[in-house]
Amino acid sequence: MSTTKSAELATPAAETFTLTENSTGRTFELPVIKGTTGPDVIDVRKLYAETGCFTYDPGFTSTGSCESRITYIDGDAGILLYRGYPIEELAEQSDFMEVCYLLLYGNLPSVEEKEKFRRDITYHTMVNEQINYFFRGFRRDSHPMAVMCGVVGALSAFYHDSTDITDPHHRMVASHRLIAKMATIAAMTYKYSLGQPFIYPRNDLKFSENLLHMMYATPCEEYSVNPVLARAMRRILILHADHEQNASTSTVRLAGSSGANPFACIAAGIASLWGPAHGGANEAVLNMLEEIGSKDHIPEYIKRAKDKDDPFRLMGFGHRVYKNYDPRAKVMQKTCHEVLDELGMRDTPLLELAMELERIALEDEYFVEKKLYPNVDFYSGTILKAIGIPVEMFTVIFATGRTPGWIAHWNEMISSPYRIGRPRQLYRGPSKRDYVPMDKR
Ligand code: CMC
């Protein structure tokens, strides 16, 4: 098939798609694969060999990149399941350790399994002492995500005994290390920015309590963790723990497909998460709310968001997959109210502004027509700010929560047959031409 010929897809009754090349009438049968639930996929793996054509899908809006058993999203219905369990139930009833176990191993743990897993993780909460010195190479005013990328990437220089990806034991130890050390490194980036000493982890605390302890305790004063804030942090971590083949998870898989070690792959995921269209949106939401400043200015910003010639977008709105209310945003909104009530901050202008912006956007024809609903990042920033976490740390907290998801996907790929990820392209550059010496140009 050449680019001048048109091709159309037709749906036959059986489990195949028939591709017809209009100009020649040639047909190609493409197998259709069914998942447990959700849309079928057309298997195009042999398409190039049989037709000489690639598929073209920048942004991967119609492309399934892998088979997975971890997370399911129904974007139209606003459903998110981890290993089959609804996110709302996990956020309400589970804890982060259990969700990590569920994502990694596929089932909820028994009492004994959970206790063993907790011990395995807490065994790895400290980082090699030399990493403290590594931190000192960064400027104090570095963005914490810049520090995260560097320090997590550097873990492969410290933990050689867990970088053999062909060894299941190495893979398991690396997985536990990454989940455990991510919280410690996250807190260290904060302490470093303040110029305060690093605080060692406390293994008697739960994951989210320990994270808050490492961020807010000092050598001269213990931090007593408010249970409402610890619960909010736990929920934030659970809600962020996985989201199937999003940009950062796909980055982790692609990096891993070359055989790179897990620490390097997760560092790649952190880099991908940082962008404002992805995990950086929580920071961008808060900056946007502060820029809007008051309810009176909302119409002006809504107008800008709708203007094609203005790059401004309403941050925390819209999603590639959700064309309905993001189920995580609902839990976030509820948690936001709980936290602000607990802290006596219910009348905070920021929350009022966020709620008014949401109300106006949800009624606006542009947002309704394009199905742009609040996403997970819309309320998470308000909660994190109320807890006292600085805006630059928001995406770091997201990365800490997303780590089990990244690792579960990396493990899933490495544990089964896989090939290096290598997309092709539609080339539109110059055809072959001869080199012209400088004096002839
Ligand atoms: N404000 C205004 N218009 C928007 C917005 C928005 N937030 N989001 C999408 N649109 C418009 C967009 O201009 C486009 O209009 P048109 O069809 O007329 O050209 C249409 O809606 C579809 O947008 P898209 O950019 O093609 O959609 P996408 O699936 O490629 O992008 C998105 C999804 C999340 C990157 C985008 O909605 C966005 O930039 N949102 C703001 C950033 C944000 O909140 N990101 C967090 C996502 S959830 C957490 C995470 O992934 O980490």
- Among 398, 99, 168, 415, which residue's Cα sits nearest to residue 273? 398
The Cα–Cα gap between 127 and 133 comes to 11
Ligand 1 centroid, distance to 391 Cα (angstroms): 21
Ligand 1 atom 32: the closest Cα is on which residue? Answer: 319
Say which of 213, 319, 326, 409 is annotated catalytic: 319
CA-nearest residue for atom 24, ligand 1, is 320
With a 6 Å cutoff on the Cβ, whether 280 touches ligand 1 is no
Q: Would you say the CB of residue 279 lies under 6 angstroms from ligand 1?
A: yes
> Who contacts 145 (Cβ-Cβ below 8 Å, separation ≥6)?
270, 273, 274, 280, 392, 395, 396, 399
Q: Is the alpha carbon torsion for 428, 17, 34, 44 positive or negative? A: negative
- The reported pLDDT for the residue numbered 23 is 87
- What pTM was computed for the model? 0.93
Contact 70, 409 (CB under 8 A): yes
Best substitution site from 306, 310, 313, 396 to test ligand 1's pocket, by max atoms within 8 Å of Cβ?
313
State the pairing for strand pair 7-10/79-82: unpaired
The residue ranges of the chain whose pLDDT is under 70 are: 1-14
Query: 69 C-alpha to center of ligand 1: Å?
Result: 27
Instruction: Clarify whether 297 is annotated catalytic.
Output: no
Structure tokens at 189: 């980036």
* Encoded amino acid at 256, one letter: G
Q: Other C-beta atoms within 10 Å of 342: how many?
A: 16
Residues in the chain: 441
Residue closest by Cα to atom 50 of ligand 1: 278
Whole-number Å distance between alpha carbons of 204 and 275: 35
Tokens of 141: 């005013």
What number of other Cβ atoms are within 10 A of residue 425's Cβ? 9
The tokens 């929350």 sit on which residue? 351
User: How many Å apart are CA 254 and CA 5, to the nearest integer?
Assistant: 33
User: Token pair for residue 267?
Assistant: 């560092």
Is residue 347 among the annotated active site residues? no
Strand partners, 7: 21
Ligand 1 center–CA 313 separation, angstroms: 8
Residue that is written with structure tokens 């197998």 in the block: 31
- Cα(227) to centroid(ligand 1), Å: 35
- Closest-CA residue, ligand 1 atom 17, reads 370
Centre of ligand 1 from the C-alpha of residue 244, in Å? 18
pLDDT (tens digit, 9 = 90+) per residue, 149-176? 999 999 999 999 999 999 999 999 999 9
Nearest CA among 46, 84, 42, 36 for reference residue 64:
42
Q: What pLDDT was estimated at residue 84? A: 98
Among 230, 248, 274, residue whose Cα is nearest residue 388 = 230
**Which tokens belong to 247?**
């940009």
Work out the burial of residue 146: count CB atoms within 10 Å of its CB; fewer than 13 is exposed, 13-18 middle, 19 or more buried.
middle
pLDDT at 217: 97
Q: What is the pLDDT of residue 10?
A: 47
* Cα radius of gyration (the chain): 24
CA distance 178 to 185: 10
Q: Are 51 and 3 in contact (CB under 8 A)?
A: no
Q: What is the pLDDT of residues 295-321, one digit of tens each?
A: 999 999 999 999 999 999 999 999 999
